[in-house]
């Protein structure tokens, strides 16, 4: 149990060794990926069509690049990855277009980035516009229906991350009629300048017997189209707007694009993505994939000794805890009070004063960090450096580092695209991290950056402010990780509004929606987040803020944020000790199963008169978990749930974690008839852990 180990062991246990691949990669999938690479990225291929496009000086790249100088190089990055670089140079203007692609030996995946550089020393380039980092087709027969699966993003709504789908036809036409291309069949995109606000930057094109998952790595605004032609489904994606010239020596990059090819059942494709992300996109600490922590979240506007008392209570009671999470309100000169919280303090008006409140922390953050280190518990601290309020220290002393203000005159955007500003911020944050012995840097972002970027762009530089800002954000996080070895980053933006490939490779979303920020939040919304986000993002944390097993299990996953009432010296915490010990023991028994294959056992819905159920399977361990919920108004008291991923010829033992009852079922029965679950009470939940026992005969008996 993590909380009982020395601090160094805590950190190592948070970054467990990478699990054995839990999903089988089919030869047909690797063949499909290889063929796509031949068709799109192989120099000299008769069928080669580049997977990107742009317009330069009014002409299409498909025409221009044929006459530009081309250089090709390859290098092996490691045992699993090979990098291929295609470099095109315009002999007239000196513009260099570089496509850097990575292919994988262990997954049917390819990803790439584009770079544009003005190699000249005197003149600006002509205008680059409509840069589409992805512009490619997928073979699809004219009579085959294609369905696009995608998802809501986070907007602090009950349906955050809800699965969505759209059919692309085919449109019925007479055999002799010309095919009419419909380029507006499905439009996808983000909102407000945050990558997963509105929609997640992932989508799965399902052709019935296989398909392709596309993912976009860009933490600003992106748009995508999925449409049909006579012979294929086409995809294109990129930044929302680009119309810009490059200054001498200037270079920019595009969003990162990932394509992952799958065959068979759609959920197999989603599980391929989950395992690919864990293997190649989860943040690493000393070479090990980061583990989602169990954290105790407390309001930052509280006295240092009370924060320490929360952690000490866990330690004294031998409860496992990875991090003490100190949220907003710890900085500036807000009036101190007992019982401060998000609703009665001035936390949002003090962003820009990133210095500990001397009344709450008279000796700074160091005593808290040192005390937590002595308790073998990590220190997670909340920041929001990108939003700066008028009148704060940074607004007064560094107006040259700010974009804005907004129309109210009260809010500025700290310009991460300004190199001097970013360096100042880096030095400041590194100092706080080191002084406070901070283990996890939590960065929130409660501001819409779109208007600030638009106001900063000249008519012939549209998109440049966003490009500089987003690449500055990546450099800022990379510098923190380099200069503070072992640091974990928690990515928050009004909840989960910045979840994409780039942030996922550097951080974990430990607060995936702002829905739980409000008292009495709907637990059903938490279940919906687990179902919807789990199809695309394997690593995230749920929330529990009261002693309620149904709520706790609704947020159950590879980690969790626990929220406690203010801890007074002579009062009891609102989690009773026995209940909390039981629940944390349960979480630690099952948390690694959430790294496995994910199978929703019922269709997504948020209705209170229904049930919800899902399964996480670890084929490499021969075991997994099944979670079932009967919601508050459901009239049904029993149901059967056919499971997935099991071996029909094997026998499985299911343990009910509440009663301890054991049930033996053949894999065949689990797959065909299902696991029987009865719950006379409502709302209620059941958690089953299953393990493969032995091989079974057709009728379920032992061989």
Residue 349 falls inside a structural domain:
yes
**Is residue 183 helix, strand or coil?**
strand
Q: How many domains does the chain have?
A: 2
Same domain as 584, residue 609: no
Same domain as 636, residue 533: no
Structure-token match 């080669």, residue found: 48
Structure tokens at 679: 């719950």
Q: Over the Cα atoms of the chain, what is R_g?
A: 26
The candidate with the shortest Cα–Cα distance to 110, out of 52, 70, 65, 66, is 52
* Residues 14/322, Cβ–Cβ less than 8 Å: yes
Instruction: Supply angle C-alpha 503, 508, 509, rounded to 5.
Output: 95
Residue 173 falls inside a structural domain:
no
Query: What pLDDT is stored for residue 341 in this prediction?
Result: 84
Same domain as 589, residue 641: no
Q: How far apart are CA 548 and CA 555, in angstroms?
A: 11
Query: What pLDDT is stored for residue 51 in this prediction?
Result: 95
Q: What is the CATH number of the domain that holds 686?
A: 2.60.40.1180
pLDDT tens-digit profile of 470-514?
999 999 999 999 999 999 999 999 999 999 999 999 999 999 999
**Is residue 623 helix, strand or coil?**
strand
Strand 251-253 relative to strand 109-118, pairing: antiparallel
Q: How far apart are CA 537 and CA 507, in angstroms?
A: 12
When pLDDT is cut at 50, 70 and 90, the band that residue 518 belongs to is: confident
The candidate with the shortest Cα–Cα distance to 48, out of 64, 66, 32, is 66
Query: What pLDDT is stored for residue 575 in this prediction?
Result: 86
CB burial class (10 A; 0-12, 13-18, 19+) of residue 59? exposed
For the chain, the average pLDDT equals 90
Same domain as 575, residue 670: no
Same domain as 311, residue 392: yes
Q: How far apart are CA 701 and CA 703, in angstroms?
A: 7
Residue 630 falls inside a structural domain:
yes
Residue 684 falls inside a structural domain:
yes
SS3 content of the chain, % helix, strand, coil (to 5): 25, 30, 45
Query: What pLDDT is stored for residue 418 in this prediction?
Result: 98
Same domain as 520, residue 652: no
Query: Which conformational region is residue 426 in: left (phi greater than 0), alpha (psi within -120 to 50 degrees), or beta?
Result: alpha
pLDDT tens-digit profile of 175-206?
443 434 454 579 999 999 999 999 999 999 99
Same domain as 580, residue 468: yes
Maximal C-alpha separation, the chain: 84
Same domain as 678, residue 541: no
Q: What is the CATH number of the domain that holds 337?
A: 3.20.20.70
Same domain as 650, residue 622: yes
CB burial class (10 A; 0-12, 13-18, 19+) of residue 37? middle
Q: How far apart are CA 340 and CA 328, in angstroms?
A: 11
Same domain as 614, residue 569: no
Same domain as 511, residue 657: no
pLDDT tens-digit profile of 445-469?
999 999 999 999 999 999 999 999 9
Give me the residues paired with residue 165 across strands.
149
Residue 170 falls inside a structural domain:
no
Instruction: For residue 581, give its domain range.
Output: 2-18+290-397+427-595
Q: How far apart are CA 25 and CA 38, in angstroms?
A: 20
- Residue 124 CA, chain-centre distance (Å), reads 37
Q: Give kind and range of the element (H or E) at residue 692.
A: strand 684-695
Same domain as 628, residue 566: no
Structure tokens at 277: 């992300």
Residue 263 falls inside a structural domain:
no
Q: Give kind and range of the element (H or E) at residue 551.
A: helix 549-554
pLDDT tens-digit profile of 566-607?
644 434 457 899 999 999 999 999 999 999 999 999 999 999
């Amino acid at each position: 149990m993590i909380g009982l180990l020395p601090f160094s062991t805590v950190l190592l246990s948070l970054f467990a060794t990478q699990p054995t691949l839990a999903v089988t990669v089919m030869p047909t999938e690797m063949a499909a990926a290889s063929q796509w690479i031949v068709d799109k990225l192989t120099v000299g291929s008769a069928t080669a069509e580049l997977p990107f496009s742009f317009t330069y000086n009014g002409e299409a790249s498909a025409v221009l690049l044929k006459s530009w100088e081309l250089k090709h190089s390859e290098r092996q990055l490691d045992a699993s990855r090979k990098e291929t670089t295609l470099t095109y140079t315009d002999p007239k203007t000196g513009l260099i277009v570089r496509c850097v692609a990575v292919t994988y030996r262990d997954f049917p995946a390819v990803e790439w980035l584009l770079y544009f550089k003005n190699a000249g020393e005197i003149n600006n380039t002509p205008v680059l516009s409509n840069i589409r980092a992805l512009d490619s087709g997928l073979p699809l027969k004219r009579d085959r229906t294609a369905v696009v699966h995608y998802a809501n993003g986070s907007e602090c709504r009950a349906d955050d991350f809800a699965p969505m789908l759209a059919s692309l036809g085919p449109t019925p036409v007479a055999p002799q009629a010309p095919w009419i291309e419909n380029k507006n069949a499905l439009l996808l995109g983000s909102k407000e300048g945050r990558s997963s606000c509105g929609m997640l930057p992932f989508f799965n094109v399902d052709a019935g017997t296989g398909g392709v998952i596309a993912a976009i790595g860009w933490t600003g605004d992106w748009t995508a189209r999925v449409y049909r032609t006579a012979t294929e489904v086409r995809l294109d994606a990129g930044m929302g707007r680009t119309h810009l010239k490059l200054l001498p020596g200037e270079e920019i990059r595009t969003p990162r694009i990932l394509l992952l090819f799958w065959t068979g059942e759609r959920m197999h494709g989603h599980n391929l993505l989950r395992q690919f992300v864990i293997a190649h996109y989860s943040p690493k600490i000393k070479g090990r994939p980061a583990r989602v922590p169990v954290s105790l979240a407390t309001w930052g506007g509280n006295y240092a000794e009370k924060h320490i008392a929360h952690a000490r209570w866990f330690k004294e009671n031998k409860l496992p805890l990875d991090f003490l999470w100190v949220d907003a309100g710890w900085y500036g000169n807000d009036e101190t009070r007992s019982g401060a919280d998000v609703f009665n303090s001035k936390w949002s008006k003090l962003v820009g004063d990133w210095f500990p409140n001397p009344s709450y922390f008279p000796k700074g953050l160091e005593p808290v960090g040192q005390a937590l280190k002595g308790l073998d518990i990590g220190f997670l601290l909340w920041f929001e450096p990108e939003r700066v309020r008028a009148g704060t220290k940074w607004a007064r002393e560094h107006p040259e580092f700010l974009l804005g203000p907004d129309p109210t005159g009260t809010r500025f955007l700290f310009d991460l695209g300004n190199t001097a500003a970013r360096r100042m911020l880096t030095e400041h944050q590194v100092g706080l991290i080191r002084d406070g012995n901070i283990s996890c840097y939590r960065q929130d972002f409660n501001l819409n950056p779109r208007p600030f970027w638009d106001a900063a762009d000249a008519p012939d530089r549209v998109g440049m402010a966003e490009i500089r800002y987003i690449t500055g954000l990546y450099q800022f996080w990379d510098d923190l990780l380099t200069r503070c070895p072992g640091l974990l980053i928690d990515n928050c933006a009004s909840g989960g509004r910045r979840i994409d490939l780039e942030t996922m490779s550097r951080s974990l979303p430990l607060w995936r929606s702002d829905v739980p920020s409000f008292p009495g939040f709907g637990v059903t919304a938490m279940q919906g987040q687990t179902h919807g986000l789990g199809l695309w993002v394997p690593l995230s944390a749920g929330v529990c803020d009261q002693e309620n097993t149904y709520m706790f299990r609704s947020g159950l996953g590879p980690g969790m944020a626990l929220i406690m009432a203010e801890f007074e010296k002579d009062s009891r915490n609102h989690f009773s000790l026995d209940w909390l010990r039981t629940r944390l023991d349960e979480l630690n028994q099952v948390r690694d199963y959430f790294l496995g294959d994910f199978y929703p056992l019922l269709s997504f819905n948020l209705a209170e008169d229904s049930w919800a159920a899902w399964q996480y399977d670890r084929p490499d361990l021969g075991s997994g978990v099944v979670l079932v919920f009967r919601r508050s108004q459901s009239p049904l008291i029993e149901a059967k749930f056919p499971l997935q991923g099991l071996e029909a010829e094997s026998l499985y033992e299911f343990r009910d974690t509440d009663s301890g009852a054991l049930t033996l079922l053949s894999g065949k029965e689990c797959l065909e008839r299902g696991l029987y679950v009865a719950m006379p009470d409502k709302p209620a939940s059941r958690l089953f852990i299953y393990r493969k026992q032995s091989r079974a005969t057709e009728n379920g008996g032992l061989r």
